[in-house]
Amino acid sequence: MADQNDRYPLHRSVFDNDLKTLSRLLRIHDVAEKDKHGNTALHLAVMLGRKECVQLLLKHDAPVKVKNGLGWTVLAEAISYGNRPTISSLVRKFRQQSREQMEERRPNLVHALNKINDFYMELKWDFQSWVPLVSRILPSDICKIYKSGANIRLDTTLVDFSDMRWERGDISFIFNGNAPPNQSLTVLDNGQKVYQNVKYEESEMEIEDEVDLLMSTDILAAQISTKSISFIRAQSGWIFREDKTEVVAGQYASELYTVHGLVLESRKRREHLSLDDLQKNKALLESFTKGGNIQNFDQNGVPVRRSSLNPPPDKSVTWPQYIQSELNSYPRLGRDLVYKESSKSFKATIAMSPEFPLSVAMLLNVLEVIAPFKHFSKLRDFIAAKLPSGFPVKVEIPILPTVTAKITFQEFEFRDDIPKNLFTRPKDYIEDPTRFPDL
């Protein structure tokens, strides 16, 4: 056991709250290393309330988004502990690291787009539900996508769709691959003739507003797990079974597959919330998702911010007790969990065609550009799974427990006559930085 005790010196120095040793070790050890339980040194610093260790690790660019063996990020554990300055620091660092990762990928993305011939494509979205009344009111949309060089334009009438709320409009999303990062993504509201550059950096107030929201609401972790995903050819016939085929959009001969093993995993924690918080939780979320301000203001108009929670009782867990415990069964280091989890299996169907002129890799590059739209982000995550051969010309995937999206690639053509002015903002449009609060 002695070897195990000495195996993770960064983690050990955090446990011992030994800043001098931690500073020295950070020069020669990987700040992102995980211990046997999947925790980074930053995870432990947050769970143990070692505030100075947290700041030192962040100074050395410790990753914030990474999950431990139990599936929780550093930020989730910080919200549970409840120290506001720590949460604020982590949110800022998370934003910074996300921007840096995007910029690292950007040259490859622009290069990949330039290699694809220019094209025009139409995607049809149909949202369906097994709940009859819900199905009748769900939206549909035809998205038009233009690609020229490293530029992409998406025209849509569905601004966004999440949590059974959607917004209609006449919206264009423009990506200019050769523009500076803070000017490369623009959303046009063609009805109101306004535009908004997608935020590259958040203001101090926006970050503090987000911290208030995180401290006031459940810690959520929801994902569609594709670990055990399998694709089985769909069959027809009662006695003589045969593989089903379909001609999609009147031109793409396709093989139909049922997708098994899709699981929506949802986990929720609320040990950081008071009874009063729980009662206000729903109202806060409603206000924030509609772009409202969740803050109270004092008589001078200054926002009243959430205070740090009292630290949880010290559990007096020693380093040997932690590191020698069974895998992912270590003693709780911070606040005791108030936890609920659920999972639901879904079936999806997919039509794969060898005749579609675009490759899956090319499609993923296009979807990465338009990922700020949440429903496109879900499509990208699904298509990133290992698909059968061909191109997914029709996909039916769950996006909410009661709602399925059917996406059909109904038109595609390579074109060399796409007008350049499609990728520029009309001169008579006025900037409105608040038009799309979620972007």
pLDDT tens digits, 320-355: 999 999 999 999 999 999 999 988 887 889 999 999
DSSP characters for 48-73?
TT-HHHHHHHHHTT--SS-B-TTS-B
- Beta partners for 222? 266
Report how far residue 435's alpha carbon sits from residue 80's, in angstroms, rounded to the nearest whole number. 33
How much is the average pLDDT of 291-307?
Answer: 65
The SS3 assignment for 385 reads: coil
Write down the pLDDT at residue 356.
Answer: 93
Considering the domain boundaries, does residue 108 fall inside one? no
Last residue of a domain, one of 319, 337, 355: 337
50-80, pLDDT tens digit by residue?
A: 999 999 999 999 999 999 999 999 999 999 9
Q: Is 390 left (phi over 0), alpha (psi -120 to 50) or beta?
A: left
The DSSP call for residue 40 is B
Considering the domain boundaries, does residue 111 fall inside one? no
Q: In this structure, are 71 and 212 located in the same domain?
A: yes
Task: Please give the helix or strand (H or E) that residue 10 lies within, else none.
Answer: helix 9-15
Q: Tell me, what CATH number does 209's domain have?
A: 1.25.40.20
- Cα angle for residues 392, 395, 398 (degrees, 5° grid): 145
Q: Which of 120, 148, 133, 207 is nearest to 420 (CA)?
A: 148
- Cα angle for residues 78, 87, 38 (degrees, 5° grid): 35
pLDDT over 60 at 216, yes or no:
yes
Q: In this structure, are 241 and 148 located in the same domain?
A: yes
Q: Is 51 left (phi over 0), alpha (psi -120 to 50) or beta?
A: alpha
CA atoms within 13 A on the CB side of 206: 13
Tell me how many domains the chain contains. Answer: 2
Share of the chain above pLDDT 70, in %: 85
Q: In this structure, are 211 and 331 located in the same domain?
A: yes
**Residues 63, 101 contacting (CB under 8 angstroms):** no
How much is the average pLDDT of 409-437?
Answer: 90
Q: Which of 411, 369, 355 is nearest to 149 (CA)?
A: 369
pLDDT over 70 at 435, yes or no:
yes
Write down the pLDDT at residue 240.
Answer: 65
Q: Which residues contact 226 (CB under 8 A, 6 or more apart)?
A: 261, 262, 382, 385
Residues making up the chain, counted from first to last: 439
User: How many Å from the N-terminal Cα to the C-terminal Cα in the chain?
Assistant: 50
Domain encompassing residue 408? 117-199+219-270+338-439
127-157, pLDDT tens digit by residue?
A: 777 666 555 556 678 889 999 999 999 998 8
Write down the pLDDT at residue 289.
Answer: 47
Q: Which of 370, 354, 392, 357 is nearest to 109 (CA)?
A: 370
Q: In this structure, are 56 and 69 located in the same domain?
A: yes
Owner of token pair 């990474």: 66
Q: In this structure, are 410 and 360 located in the same domain?
A: yes
Q: In this structure, are 357 and 298 located in the same domain?
A: no
**Residues 273, 281 contacting (CB under 8 angstroms):** yes
Q: Which residues contact 79 (CB under 8 A, 6 or more apart)?
A: 87, 214, 215, 219, 272
For the chain, give the mean pLDDT. Answer: 85
Q: Which of 162, 285, 118 is nearest to 216 (CA)?
A: 285
The DSSP call for residue 7 is S
Q: Which of 381, 353, 344, 345 is nearest to 260 (CA)?
A: 345
Q: In this structure, are 349 and 438 located in the same domain?
A: yes
- Residue 168 token pair: 């209609």
- Residue 341 token pair: 């989890």
Cα–chain center distance at 194: 27
Give the best-scoring range by mean pLDDT among 2-11, 59-68, 335-344, 359-368: 59-68
Owner of token pair 């401290």: 215
The DSSP call for residue 14 is H
Which pLDDT band holds residue 1 (cuts at 50, 70, 90)? Answer: very low
Q: In this structure, are 184 and 44 located in the same domain?
A: no
Q: In this structure, are 418 and 351 located in the same domain?
A: yes
Instruction: Pinpoint the alpha helices (H) of 339-412.
Output: 360-369, 374-383
Share of the chain above pLDDT 90, in %: 50
The DSSP call for residue 183 is G
Q: In this structure, are 171 and 255 located in the same domain?
A: yes
**Residues 50, 19 contacting (CB under 8 angstroms):** no
Torsion angle of alpha carbons 383, 387, 393, 396, nearest 10°?
-70
Last residue of a domain, one of 322, 337, 352: 337
Considering the domain boundaries, does residue 77 fall inside one? yes
Q: In this structure, are 148 and 257 located in the same domain?
A: yes
Q: In this structure, are 285 and 411 located in the same domain?
A: no
Write down the pLDDT at residue 332.
Answer: 95
Report how far residue 380's alpha carbon sits from residue 367's, in angstroms, rounded to the nearest whole number. 6
Last residue of a domain, one of 337, 355, 386: 337
Report how far residue 259's alpha carbon sits from residue 235's, in angstroms, rounded to the nearest whole number. 13
